[in-house]
Amino acid sequence: MHKELLALCVGLLSLRFLPALPDLYWPAAALLLSLLLLGWWPARPWAVLLVCLCLGSGWAVWQAQAVLDDRLASARDGQTLWLEGRISGLPEHSEGVTRFYLEQAHSRRGPLPARLRLSWHGAPALMAGEQWRLAVNLKRPRGSINPHGFDYEAWLTARKIGATGSVKQGERLQAAEGVLAWRDRLRQRLLAVPASERAGALAALVLGDGSGMSEQDWKVLRATGTTHLLVISGQHVAMLAGLLYGLVAGLFRLGLWPQRWPWLPSACLLALGGALAYGALAGFEVPVRRACLMTAIVLLWRWRYQHLGAGTALLLALAAVLLLDPLASLQAGFWLSFAAVALLVWCFAARLGRAHPLGLLLQTQWVMTLGLLPLLLALGLPLSVSALLANLLAVPWVSLGIVPLALAGSLLLGVPRLGEALLNLAGWQLQQLFLLLDGLAQRWPAWQGAALPPWAVLLALLGALLMLLPRGVPLRLPGLLLLAVALWPAAPTLPEQRAQIWVLDVGQGLAVLVRTRQHALLYDAGPAAPGFDSGEKILRPLLAGLGVRHLDLLLLSHADRDHAGGAGALLAGLSVGRLVSGEPLRGALPRLPEACRDGQQWQWDGVQFRTLQWQAAPNGNEASCVLQVEAGGERLLLTGDIGVAAERELLRRPGLQSDWLLVPHHGSRSSSSAAFIRAVAPRGALLTRRWLSPYGHPHPQVVARYQQLGVPLYDTAAQGALHWVLGRGEVPRGLRGQGGFWQEKPPAD
């Protein structure tokens, strides 16, 4: 049974690694062939395993294809439609923007995806369960494609979201009703608890709604490795089930349980009922459904099938979760939750005797910290230096103290003063916990290592497992050596007179990374807007993943938010040598920048750099600090947001010709004059913009101008981040299309 379950799970998990979905007849043909083989050789175990493998992969591909087919039609991409639908889930309110899911949506203009994720700036009060008529600008699921960054398209696909959109206006057709409305009213009551200092965190614990927590709160949780404590995860569901199970078991051992009721079935049923009730309270989102299903299988195993072993229960839970939702494997939480359970089974399934509770807690946290380290590195997630200590303190505090009080207070809100008193006590404890975690986060910030190749991840995994072997096993020291070898930083491989270029996909903004053998320069820092800072969300993870720990120069072309918005986050979380800007920056920064100097030149590792600027420019765009990079006789010209007037000024400078030209001002109509393009004479032009740009970038006249002059365009919106090595005569390559099947492919040439 173990082998068959394992083969089924491998087939289901193979979906995660497919670059593109095969035609459905291929899995069907493979399944038919394996069934024929099973009929011819019924006694051959490999034939049964092949059938299970084909069943798993075929089912996963079929489900994934259904999700892709449900996406918004390409012809509707960017259109504004009137539609009607019902708000599902709890709307999230943050910095003047409300985000929510809309289901059962329909429009007179044609069919729509089953589930939409919408945002509404300045929205009226929205409640789950309401029916609305909305004017929405719809888009196909699409996100920025950068190395070592958050995969937004995978996140949308895993949640079966067929389109995103922004609401222009709307009218409420029907008031909220049913369970969704009840959950929303409960959230409002939790957030309105008079004396609670952590109402947002209480709503996260009780309802799984983290929108009431600040970004600083989440930073503290990430830095201390305790994010799992403030979202309803498998730990909370299992904790509640364990408390109810332990209550019945304790009453039985004390002789207080009625003898006419068998204690074990009663304990399992009560624990399962509590887990399902908690899941219903949390809205049965994907992680909660997964946790409830795993809890149900474990309780069933404990009640009836304990002789099969814990490994069988884990495989059954894995197979059940993937059969119900094959796309769960696209989420990092799926891998972390099952890996955590597998580690506990690996380390404690064969443990003899009883351990002291404190020792068991310490050993559990050590297993989690060390065992999950390779997986965190493989997923590109930061490593918390303080996670072991933080979880030792926070896990029992939250599980045994705060969560029971929060749930009891929520259930007793109808009792005058009692419910609020319990919630206030839980909120006060949360406040103390956050003070403690904030101190740990400031003392030991999170660390993110460079991206590891697959062989290094496997070495790290083997090393961690060897180190977790029981005491006395002689392989623990080799495990430490394997782990050290896997995590040893790789030496730079870029030769002299070469520069690695990354033109990053930051939407309506600009960020270009230039690396030589021993130096790194970032030209512009991407945009920042309420709720999203590309410096923190895109650039810092990318630089860490590429192994860049220090920027020798952060050069900001000018002060616009789409070019300098991410500078604050970079300066706060990264070592930066020099900060240079084409104009004084707006807003508070940790330090003042140097002014860009026209004609300044320097050399790094055989690569030449030169800055150009129109010193008498009438505005910030025209005053953009232009950078020319030359490596191995090949040149790149980075132009910021200069317009025709600044282009005319640059034409007076010698040596303007470059092999690669960054299209000025994202392809605005007021830039890219024919004279300027002819003077630069590029082999190709690099365009950075947002997909379906609200500013109409690039302007059709600008595109036609480049085409008439025979200059091909490389577009980050269509191709993702662009990268190549300057000095080798290479052509820029885009990352879009190199990911998984869920990724929108670049348009055909």
Burial of 147 (0-12, 13-18, 19+ CB in 10 A): middle
In sequence order, the 6+-apart residues with CB closer than 8 A to the CB of 569 are: 528, 533, 535, 536, 539, 540
Please give the distance of CA 392 from its chain centroid, rounded to a whole number.
26
Which CA distances in Å does 535 have to 563, 565, 580, 691, 718?
A: 10, 7, 16, 20, 22
**Residue 82, beta-bridge partner list:** 135
Contact (CB, 8 A) for 494 and 454: no
Looking at residue 39, what is its pLDDT? 66
Contact (CB, 8 A) for 72 and 80: no
Tokens of 731: 């052509």
Helices (H), 372-491: 373-378, 387-396, 403-411, 418-443, 454-467, 476-487
Tell me which residue has tokens 């020099």.
Answer: 578
DSSP string, 299-346: HHHHHH-GGG-HHHHHHHHHHHHHHH-GGGGGSHHHHHHHHHHHHHHH
Contact (CB, 8 A) for 551 and 575: yes
Burial of 266 (0-12, 13-18, 19+ CB in 10 A): middle
At 103, is the secondary structure helix, strand, or coil?
strand
Q: What is the pTM of this model?
A: 0.90
In sequence order, the 6+-apart residues with CB closer than 8 A to the CB of 41 are: 47
Tokens of 520: 């790194």
DSSP state of 659: S
In CATH terms, the fold of domain 77-176 is: OB fold (Dihydrolipoamide Acetyltransferase, E2P) (2.40.50)
Tokens of 245: 């199970």
**Residue 102, beta-bridge partner list:** 87, 116
Tokens of 544: 């860490």
Helices (H), 612-721: 644-650, 674-680, 700-708, 716-719
Half-sphere exposure of 151 (CA within 13 A, CB side): 24
Q: Where in the chain is the domain with CATH 3.60.15.10?
A: 499-734
CA distance 420 to 71: 44
Looking at residue 196, what is its pLDDT? 67
SS3 content of the chain, % helix, strand, coil (to 5): 45, 15, 35
CA dihedral 290→295→298→304, nearest 10 degrees, is -120
Residue 306 neighbours by CB distance under 10 Å: 12
**Residue 167, beta-bridge partner list:** 136
Q: Are strands 684-687 and 660-662 parallel, antiparallel or unpaired?
A: parallel
**Residue 98, beta-bridge partner list:** 93, 120
Instruction: Phi first, then psi: give them for residue 166, nearest 5 degrees.
Output: -120, 135
In CATH terms, the fold of domain 499-734 is: Metallo-beta-lactamase; Chain A (3.60.15)
Region of 220 on the Ramachandran plot (φ > 0 left; ψ -120 to 50 alpha; else beta):
alpha
Looking at residue 333, what is its pLDDT? 84
Q: Where in the chain is the domain with CATH 2.40.50.140?
A: 77-176
Half-sphere exposure of 597 (CA within 13 A, CB side): 7
State pLDDT tens for residues 501-549: 999 999 999 999 999 999 999 999 999 987 788 999 999 999 998 989 9
Q: Which of the residues in the chain have pLDDT under 70?
A: 1, 37-44, 195-196, 232-235, 286-287, 306-309, 349-356, 472, 489-492, 748-749
In sequence order, the 6+-apart residues with CB closer than 8 A to the CB of 402 are: 205, 426, 429, 430, 433
Q: Which amino acid is at 268?
A: C
Contact (CB, 8 A) for 237 and 292: yes
Looking at residue 348, what is its pLDDT? 72
Looking at residue 422, what is its pLDDT? 92
CA distance 366 to 348: 13
